[in-house]
Structure 1
Amino acid sequence: MTDTTTNFEILTLSDALGRAAAGDAAQSSPFSTQPFILLDTSGSIDEMQSLQLIAWIEERACPVIGIAADGDEWAVIRACDARVANVAEAAPLITNIRQSPIAATVLVQLLRLNARLPLTDALVAESLAYSTLQAGPEFKKWLDANRAAAPAVHSDSGDPVIVSREGDALMLELNRASNRNGMTVEMRDALIESLQLVLADDSIESVQISGRGKCFSTGGDLTEFGSAPDPASAHVVRSLALPGRLLSQCAARVTVNVHGACIGSGIEFPAFASRMVASEDAYFQLPELKFGLIPGAGGTVSIARRIGRQRAGWLMLSGKRIDAQKALAWNLVDEVTA
């Protein structure tokens, strides 16, 4: 059926089963007028039909958004890439998907795949997907309109990461408050060096990571976007130098303390730690789809493994913020402090 107030189609379970049985001649894709599927999961079907529908959902070359009441957790709902309670809640996801349908498709395909892969392989898959989109038309359109004339300049004294030690405890502080602790190449390399120290020194029993200034990190520095020589080389660099990969290897010893804005890689990176503590003013957001990209600092792995594929899908497709209390309820953070 078509919702006349929103001008898009909402599939019922019987509609979807009909498409699955017919080979889905009307398959949605990034290149169709409706680059998503909105599935009303109310009603009942038998076990065989449920299995058929799950297989059909998993093969769709577009995001599948399930409409389901709170508490409904049957298999078809869990197979959807994101879930909402009603059509109105789907609006921000649909807006972003329409803006970047290719990136949205790559994102949900990657999240489906990564749910079955070990962490290291999932990080490789994310990087390959990210590089694919770096060469795509949606990112090019964003970059042409937003390319910075020069990288941002900070005004902070000292190293990008301040390292101190007290006994068997190591403290790492992001030290680019004037640049909102943006994850620049400089910051990335400093984090890698610090985490390599942790991995090499067994006498370091605990690590505390925090950020100076008004926020933990607003993520990748947009003024550096498009500065890589080419997408293929950028993938190799991520394979060799990704702070989140190193953090995952020493995660059991690490607590990250976050506050204020935690955006993009500013939440993707800390989510690899075994423990994350957020202040009440912390908020979390993944806006990459608006750039024609997906999270590329490990977030499709770290965040999805903390909060589940569907909630990660909602966060990444919608681009909306969640506050510290919702993050706690979703297990994105482990504690909220005043």
Structure 2
Amino acid sequence: MDIDEGLMLRPDGRPGNPVRYLDLDDWHRADPSTVAAAAARVADSLSPTVGMATRRPPDRLLPLLDALTLTLAAPGVEADAADARQLVSVEDPRKAFEELADIVERHPGASIALGQLLRQTPSLGTLQGLAAEAAAYSMLLGGTEFAAWLAGRGTARPAETDLPLVRVRRDGGKLSVLLDRPERRNAISFRMREELFEALEIAALDDTIDEVELAGAGPVFCSGGDLAEFGTATDLVAAYLVRLERAPWRLIDRMRERVTVRVHGAAVGAGIEMAAFAGRVVASPDAFFLLPEVAMGLVPGAGGTVSVPRRIGRWRAAWMMLSGARVDAATALRWGLVDEVEGHDG
């Protein structure tokens, strides 16, 4: 595919060319100047550009690998590469690209916004990265892709309870914080977010607390944002400000060296996004991780475009976010998304 093609916008503003690919097997003999020129064009592209490799790319292609949104690699290529953070191992790179392209073509606005966001956030400070993410998220809340997802979801009723949604216990210098909404798989509602912020603020303001542990009650750690509350914001600018000012993940990042997150079962959306800010993430063997926001016409909105790339690189982060693929505990450990799997002998 011609990497110099633009978005080819249609009259309704939808791109006719929302994703492109580059077969890296064809580039093995390219000279360094040609590779550098291609890498510059890819980096300047608006559309996500996905590489495909059935053989290990030679070192001279590293600038191109770095510039691509991600590279889909045949089994064995990732393990054989000296620096594999740009590579995602799949059984069939061409089939995987076709599946990824189908997702991007159905959600081009969210996909393109995500691709550009991930090119910014790794080089920004935490607050600046969160601000960029929140701006993109708030913009997409007003878009047609999210509206279509809302229409397809139908009516959702938020669960009401007067019980605390976050429980806090202090034992000397250790503060234990528990997401306690198991009947909703610890989905983060507006109220839970506020309670979590207040709980973490205790540690942020008290330097006699030298250890913070965050966990979830019930069968899963956290299923992400409460879908029943999606689409209820009436002032998107206010939502943007609240997302920055009252973000528990900012507090986790601020005291990351003191924070351990224990993940079991599902860590979906906001669940893994906020956990990834912690200095230590411990997963149970049954834990799994996925980021489904693009399929909703959105981008991650709980800091994931900042925290996840810091751990696994922007390329694998792009794969998780664009594909919505489920990542198991073993892969998460190998990539660095978690620091330990309980019972893993290393």
TM-score (norm 1): 0.89
| 1:115 aligned counterpart, secondary structure | helix
Contact 1:218/1:261 (<8 A) preserved = yes
In structure 1, distance between residues paired with 2:54 and 2:243: 40
CA shift digits 1:256-308 (9 cap, x unpaired) = 00000110001101110000000001000000011100100000000011100
Contact 1:28/1:62 (<8 A) preserved = no
Of 16, 21, 24, the residue aligned with 1:38 is 21
Of 128, 140, 143, the residue aligned with 2:135 is 128
In structure 2, distance between residues paired with 1:241 and 1:70: 47
Structure 2 residue runs of 5 or longer lacking an equivalent are: 74-92
Of 271, 288, 304, the residue aligned with 1:283 is 288
Aligned to 1:5: none
In structure 1, distance between residues paired with 2:127 and 2:14: 32
In structure 1, distance between residues paired with 2:55 and 2:196: 40
Contact 2:7/2:17 (<8 A) preserved = no
Structure 1 residue runs of 5 or longer lacking an equivalent are: 1-10
CA shift digits 1:7-45 (9 cap, x unpaired) = xxxx3xxx54xx3xxxx4x55568343420111112232
Aligned to 1:7: none
In structure 2, distance between residues paired with 1:54 and 1:311: 18
Of 62, 77, 95, the residue aligned with 2:102 is 95
Amino acid in the other structure paired with 1:76: L
State the shift of 1:166 in Å: 1.1
Deviates more, 1:278-287 or 1:65-74: 65-74
Amino acid in the other structure paired with 2:97: A
Deviates more, 1:40-49 or 1:194-203: 40-49
Of 289, 303, 311, the residue aligned with 1:306 is 311
State the shift of 1:93 in Å: 1.5
State the shift of 1:69 in Å: 4.0
Deviates more, 1:157-166 or 1:130-139: 157-166
Aligned to 1:80: 68
In structure 2, distance between residues paired with 1:329 and 1:281: 15
Contact 2:17/2:47 (<8 A) preserved = no
State the shift of 1:115 in Å: 2.4
State the shift of 1:159 in Å: 1.5
In structure 2, distance between residues paired with 1:323 and 1:70: 25
Aligned to 1:8: none
- Work out whether 1:258 is the aligned partner of 2:263: yes
CA shift digits 1:65-103 (9 cap, x unpaired) = 111246536110121112112211223321211110110
Amino acid in the other structure paired with 1:49: T
In structure 2, distance between residues paired with 1:228 and 1:129: 15
State the shift of 1:59 in Å: 1.7
Of 313, 320, 325, the residue aligned with 2:330 is 325
Of 102, 115, 125, the residue aligned with 1:118 is 125
5 Å matches for 1:155-194? 158-194=163-199
Deviates more, 1:27-36 or 1:45-54: 27-36
Deviates more, 1:271-280 or 1:40-49: 40-49
Aligned to 1:59: 44
In structure 2, distance between residues paired with 1:92 and 1:283: 21
| 2:337 aligned counterpart, secondary structure | coil
Amino acid in the other structure paired with 2:128: D
Contact 2:7/2:16 (<8 A) preserved = no
Contact 1:36/1:64 (<8 A) preserved = yes
State the shift of 1:148 in Å: 3.0
State the shift of 1:60 in Å: 1.3
Evaluate the alpha carbon distance shift between residue 55 and residue 28 of structure 1 in structure 2; reply closer, same or farther with a 3 A threshold: farther
Of 108, 114, 123, the residue aligned with 1:107 is 114
| 1:215 aligned counterpart, secondary structure | coil
In structure 2, distance between residues paired with 1:124 and 1:278: 29
Evaluate the alpha carbon distance shift between residue 166 and residue 132 of structure 1 in structure 2; reply closer, same or farther with a 3 A threshold: same
Evaluate the alpha carbon distance shift between residue 27 and residue 52 of structure 1 in structure 2; reply closer, same or farther with a 3 A threshold: farther
In structure 2, distance between residues paired with 1:268 and 1:149: 24
Aligned to 2:76: none
| 1:296 aligned counterpart, secondary structure | coil
Aligned CA-pair RMSD: 1.7
Contact 1:147/1:226 (<8 A) preserved = no
- Work out whether 1:224 is the aligned partner of 2:207: no
- Once the two structures are aligned, what percentage of the paired residues are identical? 41
Evaluate the alpha carbon distance shift between residue 335 and residue 147 of structure 1 in structure 2; reply closer, same or farther with a 3 A threshold: same
TM-score (norm 2): 0.87
Aligned to 2:250: 245
Evaluate the alpha carbon distance shift between residue 109 and residue 243 of structure 1 in structure 2; reply closer, same or farther with a 3 A threshold: same
Aligned to 2:85: none
Aligned to 2:35: 50
